[in-house]
Structure 1
Protein backbone atom coordinates (compact mmCIF):
# COMPACT_ATOMS: atom_id res chain seq x y z
CA UNK A 1 0.00 0.00 0.00
CA UNK A 2 1.21 3.50 -0.78
CA UNK A 3 0.61 5.87 2.13
CA UNK A 4 1.19 9.62 2.24
CA UNK A 5 1.74 11.14 5.68
CA UNK A 6 1.04 14.87 5.86
CA UNK A 7 3.05 16.20 8.80
CA UNK A 8 5.57 13.37 8.69
CA UNK A 9 8.21 15.35 10.59
CA UNK A 10 5.96 16.05 13.56
CA UNK A 11 5.85 13.95 16.72
CA UNK A 12 2.71 11.96 15.92
CA UNK A 13 3.15 12.08 12.15
CA UNK A 14 6.73 10.91 12.46
CA UNK A 15 5.70 7.99 14.64
CA UNK A 16 3.02 7.00 12.14
CA UNK A 17 5.59 7.24 9.36
CA UNK A 18 7.98 4.89 11.17
CA UNK A 19 5.17 2.42 11.90
CA UNK A 20 4.09 2.36 8.26
CA UNK A 21 7.67 1.93 7.02
CA UNK A 22 8.19 -0.89 9.52
CA UNK A 23 5.22 -2.73 8.05
CA UNK A 24 6.68 -2.52 4.57
CA UNK A 25 4.40 0.13 3.11
CA UNK A 26 5.56 2.55 0.44
CA UNK A 27 5.49 5.82 2.41
CA UNK A 28 5.52 9.35 1.06
CA UNK A 29 6.39 12.12 3.52
CA UNK A 30 4.45 15.30 2.71
CA UNK A 31 6.05 18.19 4.59
CA UNK A 32 6.73 21.90 4.40
CA UNK A 33 10.50 21.50 4.89
CA UNK A 34 11.97 18.47 3.11
CA UNK A 35 15.32 18.87 4.90
CA UNK A 36 13.73 17.67 8.15
CA UNK A 37 12.89 14.20 6.80
CA UNK A 38 15.53 11.77 8.09
CA UNK A 39 14.20 8.54 6.55
CA UNK A 40 15.21 7.38 3.08
CA UNK A 41 11.74 7.71 1.60
CA UNK A 42 9.92 9.68 -1.06
CA UNK A 43 9.46 13.30 0.05
CA UNK A 44 7.05 15.84 -1.38
CA UNK A 45 6.58 19.41 -0.19
CA UNK A 46 3.34 21.18 0.64
CA UNK A 47 2.62 24.30 2.68
CA UNK A 48 -0.80 23.77 4.26
CA UNK A 49 -1.34 27.53 4.50
CA UNK A 50 -1.17 27.80 0.71
CA UNK A 51 -3.01 24.75 -0.59
CA UNK A 52 -4.56 24.72 -4.06
CA UNK A 53 -6.12 21.98 -6.14
CA UNK A 54 -2.93 21.82 -8.19
CA UNK A 55 -0.35 21.52 -5.42
CA UNK A 56 -2.51 19.04 -3.48
CA UNK A 57 -2.79 16.91 -6.64
CA UNK A 58 1.00 16.99 -6.98
CA UNK A 59 1.67 16.20 -3.34
CA UNK A 60 -0.73 13.26 -3.13
CA UNK A 61 -0.58 11.79 -6.62
CA UNK A 62 -0.75 8.00 -6.86
CA UNK A 63 -1.31 7.25 -3.16
CA UNK A 64 -3.86 4.84 -1.73
CA UNK A 65 -4.36 6.52 1.65
CA UNK A 66 -3.54 9.96 3.05
CA UNK A 67 -2.87 10.24 6.78
CA UNK A 68 -2.95 13.85 7.98
CA UNK A 69 -1.41 14.97 11.27
CA UNK A 70 -1.96 18.71 11.44
CA UNK A 71 -1.53 21.09 14.37
CA UNK A 72 -1.55 24.84 14.71
CA UNK A 73 0.26 24.68 18.04
CA UNK A 74 3.76 25.67 16.94
CA UNK A 75 2.63 28.83 15.15
CA UNK A 76 -0.38 29.35 17.43
CA UNK A 77 -2.49 29.34 14.29
CA UNK A 78 -5.32 27.02 15.23
CA UNK A 79 -7.51 28.17 12.35
CA UNK A 80 -5.29 26.17 10.01
CA UNK A 81 -6.62 22.87 11.43
CA UNK A 82 -10.22 23.06 10.22
CA UNK A 83 -9.10 24.95 7.12
CA UNK A 84 -6.75 22.12 6.17
CA UNK A 85 -9.43 19.50 6.79
CA UNK A 86 -11.90 21.33 4.54
CA UNK A 87 -9.36 21.84 1.77
CA UNK A 88 -8.19 18.22 1.81
CA UNK A 89 -11.79 17.05 1.62
CA UNK A 90 -12.30 19.34 -1.35
CA UNK A 91 -9.08 18.71 -3.25
CA UNK A 92 -8.09 15.10 -2.59
CA UNK A 93 -10.81 13.52 -4.76
CA UNK A 94 -9.47 15.60 -7.64
CA UNK A 95 -6.00 14.25 -6.85
CA UNK A 96 -7.29 10.70 -7.17
CA UNK A 97 -6.74 9.88 -3.48
CA UNK A 98 -9.59 7.64 -2.30
CA UNK A 99 -9.11 7.76 1.48
CA UNK A 100 -8.17 10.26 4.20
CA UNK A 101 -7.34 9.44 7.82
CA UNK A 102 -7.18 12.41 10.17
CA UNK A 103 -5.33 12.62 13.50
CA UNK A 104 -7.96 14.31 15.65
CA UNK A 105 -8.23 15.32 19.30
CA UNK A 106 -9.95 14.06 22.43
CA UNK A 107 -11.72 17.32 23.29
CA UNK A 108 -14.71 16.63 21.06
CA UNK A 109 -15.41 13.23 22.65
CA UNK A 110 -18.63 13.13 24.68
CA UNK A 111 -18.54 12.63 28.45
CA UNK A 112 -22.35 12.62 28.42
CA UNK A 113 -24.86 12.90 25.58
CA UNK A 114 -24.22 16.26 23.92
CA UNK A 115 -21.50 17.23 26.44
CA UNK A 116 -17.96 17.33 25.06
CA UNK A 117 -14.81 16.86 27.09
CA UNK A 118 -13.51 20.31 26.13
CA UNK A 119 -16.65 21.95 27.54
CA UNK A 120 -16.12 20.55 31.05
CA UNK A 121 -14.67 22.81 33.79
CA UNK A 122 -11.75 20.42 34.34
CA UNK A 123 -10.43 20.67 30.79
CA UNK A 124 -6.97 22.39 30.84
CA UNK A 125 -7.16 25.95 29.59
CA UNK A 126 -3.83 25.69 27.73
CA UNK A 127 -5.21 23.00 25.43
CA UNK A 128 -8.65 24.48 24.77
CA UNK A 129 -7.86 26.36 21.57
CA UNK A 130 -6.33 23.27 20.03
CA UNK A 131 -9.23 21.07 21.15
CA UNK A 132 -11.82 23.51 19.80
CA UNK A 133 -9.95 23.62 16.46
CA UNK A 134 -10.06 19.83 16.20
CA UNK A 135 -13.78 19.93 17.00
CA UNK A 136 -14.23 22.32 14.10
CA UNK A 137 -12.29 19.92 11.87
CA UNK A 138 -14.59 17.08 12.95
CA UNK A 139 -17.59 19.23 12.04
CA UNK A 140 -16.07 19.77 8.58
CA UNK A 141 -15.78 16.03 8.09
CA UNK A 142 -19.32 15.36 9.22
CA UNK A 143 -20.75 18.09 6.98
CA UNK A 144 -18.74 17.22 3.88
CA UNK A 145 -20.22 16.08 0.61
CA UNK A 146 -16.77 15.02 -0.58
CA UNK A 147 -16.44 11.77 -2.49
CA UNK A 148 -13.45 10.79 -0.39
CA UNK A 149 -13.74 8.07 2.27
CA UNK A 150 -12.59 9.53 5.58
CA UNK A 151 -11.89 8.41 9.13
CA UNK A 152 -11.37 10.87 12.00
CA UNK A 153 -9.28 9.24 14.73
CA UNK A 154 -9.29 10.76 18.24
CA UNK A 155 -6.53 9.73 20.65
CA UNK A 156 -6.99 9.41 24.39
CA UNK A 157 -6.91 12.56 26.51
CA UNK A 158 -3.29 11.73 27.34
CA UNK A 159 -1.10 10.67 24.42
CA UNK A 160 2.44 10.24 25.68
CA UNK A 161 5.94 9.30 24.47
CA UNK A 162 6.88 5.67 24.84
CA UNK A 163 6.61 2.22 23.39
CA UNK A 164 3.64 -0.12 23.28
CA UNK A 165 2.13 -0.70 26.72
CA UNK A 166 -0.99 -2.74 26.07
CA UNK A 167 -3.46 -3.64 23.34
CA UNK A 168 -5.35 -0.49 22.42
CA UNK A 169 -9.15 -0.34 22.44
CA UNK A 170 -11.34 1.40 19.89
CA UNK A 171 -14.38 3.47 20.73
CA UNK A 172 -16.61 5.92 18.93
CA UNK A 173 -17.84 9.34 20.05
CA UNK A 174 -17.96 8.50 23.75
CA UNK A 175 -15.03 9.33 26.02
CA UNK A 176 -13.82 6.16 27.75
CA UNK A 177 -11.16 5.27 30.31
CA UNK A 178 -9.18 2.26 31.49
CA UNK A 179 -9.68 0.27 34.71
CA UNK A 180 -7.84 2.97 36.65
CA UNK A 181 -10.15 5.69 35.34
CA UNK A 182 -7.51 7.18 33.03
CA UNK A 183 -7.74 8.07 29.36
CA UNK A 184 -4.29 7.39 27.93
CA UNK A 185 -2.41 5.81 25.04
CA UNK A 186 1.23 5.82 23.97
CA UNK A 187 2.09 7.54 20.71
CA UNK A 188 3.39 4.20 19.38
CA UNK A 189 0.10 2.42 20.07
CA UNK A 190 -1.83 5.31 18.56
CA UNK A 191 0.34 5.03 15.43
CA UNK A 192 -0.44 1.31 15.31
CA UNK A 193 -4.14 2.08 15.43
CA UNK A 194 -3.80 4.60 12.61
CA UNK A 195 -1.93 2.21 10.33
CA UNK A 196 -4.29 -0.64 11.24
CA UNK A 197 -7.19 1.50 10.08
CA UNK A 198 -5.31 2.47 6.91
CA UNK A 199 -4.82 -1.22 6.14
CA UNK A 200 -8.24 -2.51 7.11
CA UNK A 201 -10.64 0.36 6.30
CA UNK A 202 -13.13 -0.76 8.96
CA UNK A 203 -14.49 2.67 9.91
CA UNK A 204 -15.29 4.57 6.75
CA UNK A 205 -16.88 8.02 7.21
CA UNK A 206 -16.79 7.68 10.98
CA UNK A 207 -15.02 9.14 14.00
CA UNK A 208 -13.29 6.55 16.15
CA UNK A 209 -11.28 6.93 19.36
CA UNK A 210 -8.20 5.09 20.61
CA UNK A 211 -7.19 4.48 24.23
CA UNK A 212 -6.23 1.67 26.60
Structure 2
Protein backbone atom coordinates (compact mmCIF):
# COMPACT_ATOMS: atom_id res chain seq x y z
CA UNK A 1 0.00 0.00 0.00
CA UNK A 2 1.22 3.51 -0.77
CA UNK A 3 0.61 5.73 2.26
CA UNK A 4 1.12 9.44 2.81
CA UNK A 5 1.64 10.49 6.42
CA UNK A 6 0.87 14.15 7.08
CA UNK A 7 2.83 15.27 10.13
CA UNK A 8 5.34 12.44 9.77
CA UNK A 9 7.97 14.20 11.90
CA UNK A 10 5.75 14.61 14.96
CA UNK A 11 5.72 12.20 17.89
CA UNK A 12 2.67 10.19 16.84
CA UNK A 13 3.21 10.75 13.12
CA UNK A 14 6.79 9.45 13.23
CA UNK A 15 5.68 6.37 15.16
CA UNK A 16 2.98 5.68 12.59
CA UNK A 17 5.53 6.17 9.82
CA UNK A 18 7.91 3.67 11.43
CA UNK A 19 5.12 1.11 11.86
CA UNK A 20 4.03 1.51 8.24
CA UNK A 21 7.59 1.04 6.97
CA UNK A 22 8.06 -2.04 9.16
CA UNK A 23 5.01 -3.59 7.49
CA UNK A 24 6.45 -3.07 4.04
CA UNK A 25 4.26 -0.19 2.93
CA UNK A 26 5.60 2.54 0.68
CA UNK A 27 5.48 5.70 2.79
CA UNK A 28 5.60 9.34 1.74
CA UNK A 29 6.25 11.87 4.48
CA UNK A 30 4.22 15.04 3.96
CA UNK A 31 5.73 17.77 6.12
CA UNK A 32 6.35 21.50 6.26
CA UNK A 33 10.10 21.15 6.80
CA UNK A 34 11.68 18.35 4.74
CA UNK A 35 14.96 18.64 6.63
CA UNK A 36 13.34 17.11 9.72
CA UNK A 37 12.61 13.78 8.03
CA UNK A 38 15.21 11.27 9.21
CA UNK A 39 13.89 8.08 7.57
CA UNK A 40 15.01 7.09 4.08
CA UNK A 41 11.63 7.70 2.45
CA UNK A 42 10.06 10.00 -0.11
CA UNK A 43 9.22 13.49 1.14
CA UNK A 44 6.70 16.05 -0.08
CA UNK A 45 6.20 19.46 1.48
CA UNK A 46 2.93 21.07 2.54
CA UNK A 47 2.25 24.04 4.82
CA UNK A 48 -1.12 23.42 6.45
CA UNK A 49 -1.58 27.10 7.29
CA UNK A 50 -1.29 28.20 3.65
CA UNK A 51 -2.28 25.22 1.53
CA UNK A 52 -4.31 25.54 -1.65
CA UNK A 53 -6.34 22.94 -3.50
CA UNK A 54 -3.44 22.47 -5.90
CA UNK A 55 -0.95 22.09 -3.03
CA UNK A 56 -3.08 19.29 -1.59
CA UNK A 57 -3.50 17.60 -4.97
CA UNK A 58 0.27 17.66 -5.50
CA UNK A 59 1.22 16.51 -2.00
CA UNK A 60 -1.09 13.51 -2.00
CA UNK A 61 -1.13 12.49 -5.66
CA UNK A 62 -1.09 8.76 -6.31
CA UNK A 63 -1.45 7.44 -2.76
CA UNK A 64 -3.86 4.76 -1.54
CA UNK A 65 -4.52 6.44 1.79
CA UNK A 66 -3.59 9.51 3.80
CA UNK A 67 -2.90 9.34 7.53
CA UNK A 68 -3.06 12.81 9.10
CA UNK A 69 -1.42 13.53 12.44
CA UNK A 70 -1.58 17.22 13.21
CA UNK A 71 -2.16 19.54 16.13
CA UNK A 72 -1.95 23.18 17.09
CA UNK A 73 -0.29 22.91 20.48
CA UNK A 74 3.25 23.91 19.43
CA UNK A 75 2.19 27.16 17.74
CA UNK A 76 -1.03 27.58 19.73
CA UNK A 77 -2.99 27.73 16.47
CA UNK A 78 -5.61 25.13 17.32
CA UNK A 79 -7.90 26.37 14.56
CA UNK A 80 -5.60 24.63 12.06
CA UNK A 81 -6.97 21.23 13.13
CA UNK A 82 -10.58 21.54 11.94
CA UNK A 83 -9.45 23.68 9.00
CA UNK A 84 -7.07 20.97 7.80
CA UNK A 85 -9.76 18.31 8.14
CA UNK A 86 -12.13 20.39 6.04
CA UNK A 87 -9.51 21.12 3.38
CA UNK A 88 -8.42 17.50 3.06
CA UNK A 89 -11.99 16.23 2.81
CA UNK A 90 -12.74 18.79 0.14
CA UNK A 91 -9.63 18.48 -1.99
CA UNK A 92 -8.24 14.95 -1.59
CA UNK A 93 -10.64 13.58 -4.23
CA UNK A 94 -8.80 15.74 -6.77
CA UNK A 95 -5.57 13.97 -5.80
CA UNK A 96 -7.18 10.59 -6.36
CA UNK A 97 -6.76 9.60 -2.70
CA UNK A 98 -9.73 7.45 -1.65
CA UNK A 99 -9.11 7.26 2.11
CA UNK A 100 -8.25 9.55 5.00
CA UNK A 101 -7.35 8.27 8.47
CA UNK A 102 -7.19 10.91 11.19
CA UNK A 103 -5.26 10.95 14.45
CA UNK A 104 -8.02 12.24 16.70
CA UNK A 105 -8.39 13.06 20.37
CA UNK A 106 -9.98 11.45 23.42
CA UNK A 107 -11.77 14.56 24.68
CA UNK A 108 -14.85 14.02 22.50
CA UNK A 109 -15.43 10.49 23.81
CA UNK A 110 -18.61 10.20 25.88
CA UNK A 111 -18.39 9.36 29.58
CA UNK A 112 -22.20 9.34 29.67
CA UNK A 113 -24.81 9.89 26.95
CA UNK A 114 -24.23 13.41 25.61
CA UNK A 115 -21.42 14.13 28.12
CA UNK A 116 -17.92 14.36 26.65
CA UNK A 117 -14.70 13.72 28.53
CA UNK A 118 -13.43 17.25 27.86
CA UNK A 119 -16.52 18.73 29.51
CA UNK A 120 -15.88 17.00 32.86
CA UNK A 121 -14.34 18.98 35.76
CA UNK A 122 -11.42 16.55 35.98
CA UNK A 123 -10.19 17.17 32.43
CA UNK A 124 -6.75 18.85 32.56
CA UNK A 125 -6.96 22.52 31.66
CA UNK A 126 -3.67 22.48 29.73
CA UNK A 127 -5.09 20.01 27.19
CA UNK A 128 -8.53 21.53 26.86
CA UNK A 129 -7.96 23.73 23.80
CA UNK A 130 -6.36 20.83 21.94
CA UNK A 131 -9.24 18.50 22.86
CA UNK A 132 -11.87 21.02 21.80
CA UNK A 133 -10.07 21.50 18.46
CA UNK A 134 -10.10 17.77 17.83
CA UNK A 135 -13.78 17.66 18.72
CA UNK A 136 -14.40 20.35 16.13
CA UNK A 137 -12.52 18.24 13.57
CA UNK A 138 -14.75 15.26 14.41
CA UNK A 139 -17.79 17.42 13.68
CA UNK A 140 -16.25 18.31 10.31
CA UNK A 141 -15.94 14.63 9.48
CA UNK A 142 -19.45 13.79 10.60
CA UNK A 143 -21.05 16.57 8.59
CA UNK A 144 -19.01 16.27 5.39
CA UNK A 145 -20.45 15.33 2.02
CA UNK A 146 -16.99 14.39 0.73
CA UNK A 147 -16.56 11.20 -1.29
CA UNK A 148 -13.50 10.37 0.83
CA UNK A 149 -13.76 7.25 2.98
CA UNK A 150 -12.60 8.50 6.38
CA UNK A 151 -11.84 7.01 9.77
CA UNK A 152 -11.26 9.13 12.88
CA UNK A 153 -9.12 7.24 15.41
CA UNK A 154 -9.26 8.44 19.04
CA UNK A 155 -6.52 7.29 21.42
CA UNK A 156 -7.03 6.57 25.08
CA UNK A 157 -7.04 9.50 27.50
CA UNK A 158 -3.40 8.70 28.24
CA UNK A 159 -1.20 7.98 25.21
CA UNK A 160 2.36 7.53 26.35
CA UNK A 161 5.87 6.75 25.04
CA UNK A 162 6.88 3.13 25.13
CA UNK A 163 6.75 -0.18 23.33
CA UNK A 164 3.80 -2.49 22.81
CA UNK A 165 2.11 -3.74 25.97
CA UNK A 166 0.03 -6.36 24.19
CA UNK A 167 -3.38 -6.46 22.55
CA UNK A 168 -5.40 -3.26 22.33
CA UNK A 169 -9.18 -2.96 22.32
CA UNK A 170 -11.31 -0.98 19.90
CA UNK A 171 -14.35 1.03 20.92
CA UNK A 172 -16.59 3.63 19.39
CA UNK A 173 -17.85 6.89 20.88
CA UNK A 174 -17.97 5.67 24.48
CA UNK A 175 -15.03 6.27 26.81
CA UNK A 176 -13.78 2.98 28.22
CA UNK A 177 -11.08 1.86 30.67
CA UNK A 178 -9.07 -1.23 31.54
CA UNK A 179 -9.52 -3.49 34.57
CA UNK A 180 -7.67 -0.97 36.74
CA UNK A 181 -10.01 1.83 35.69
CA UNK A 182 -7.42 3.53 33.51
CA UNK A 183 -7.72 4.76 29.91
CA UNK A 184 -4.27 4.25 28.42
CA UNK A 185 -2.41 3.06 25.33
CA UNK A 186 1.22 3.26 24.24
CA UNK A 187 2.00 5.28 21.15
CA UNK A 188 3.34 2.11 19.50
CA UNK A 189 0.10 0.21 20.05
CA UNK A 190 -1.89 3.21 18.84
CA UNK A 191 0.21 3.18 15.66
CA UNK A 192 -0.45 -0.55 15.27
CA UNK A 193 -4.19 0.10 15.56
CA UNK A 194 -3.97 2.87 12.96
CA UNK A 195 -2.14 0.64 10.47
CA UNK A 196 -4.48 -2.28 11.18
CA UNK A 197 -7.37 -0.02 10.21
CA UNK A 198 -5.55 1.31 7.16
CA UNK A 199 -5.05 -2.25 5.96
CA UNK A 200 -8.48 -3.66 6.84
CA UNK A 201 -10.77 -0.66 6.18
CA UNK A 202 -13.28 -2.09 8.65
CA UNK A 203 -14.56 1.23 10.02
CA UNK A 204 -15.32 3.49 7.08
CA UNK A 205 -16.89 6.86 7.91
CA UNK A 206 -16.75 6.11 11.63
CA UNK A 207 -14.93 7.24 14.75
CA UNK A 208 -13.17 4.44 16.59
CA UNK A 209 -11.23 4.55 19.85
CA UNK A 210 -8.15 2.61 20.96
CA UNK A 211 -7.18 1.63 24.51
CA UNK A 212 -6.16 -1.36 26.58
Q: TM-score range by the shorter chain?
A: over 0.9
TM-score (norm 1): 1.00
Q: What's the counterpart of residue 79 of structure 1?
A: 79
* Off by >2 Å, runs of 4+ in structure 1: none
Shift of 1:165: 0.5
Q: How many residues align?
A: 212
Shift of 1:166: 1.7
In 1, distance between residues paired with 2:101 and 2:43? 19
Q: What's the counterpart of residue 202 of structure 1?
A: 202
* Cα deviations by residue, 1:146-200 (Å, 9 ceiling, x for unpaired): 0000000000000000000020000000000000000000000000000000000
Q: What's the counterpart of residue 167 of structure 1?
A: 167
Instruction: Give ranges in structure 1 of 5+ residues lacking alignment.
Output: none
In 2, distance between residues paired with 1:78 and 1:39? 28
The residue correspondences of 1:30-109 to structure 2 (distance < 5 A) are 30-109=30-109
Shift of 1:92: 0.3
In 2, distance between residues paired with 1:197 and 1:52? 28
In 1, distance between residues paired with 2:129 and 2:203? 27
In 2, distance between residues paired with 1:76 and 1:112? 30
In 2, distance between residues paired with 1:76 and 1:50? 16
In 2, distance between residues paired with 1:114 and 1:65? 32
TM-score (norm 2): 1.00
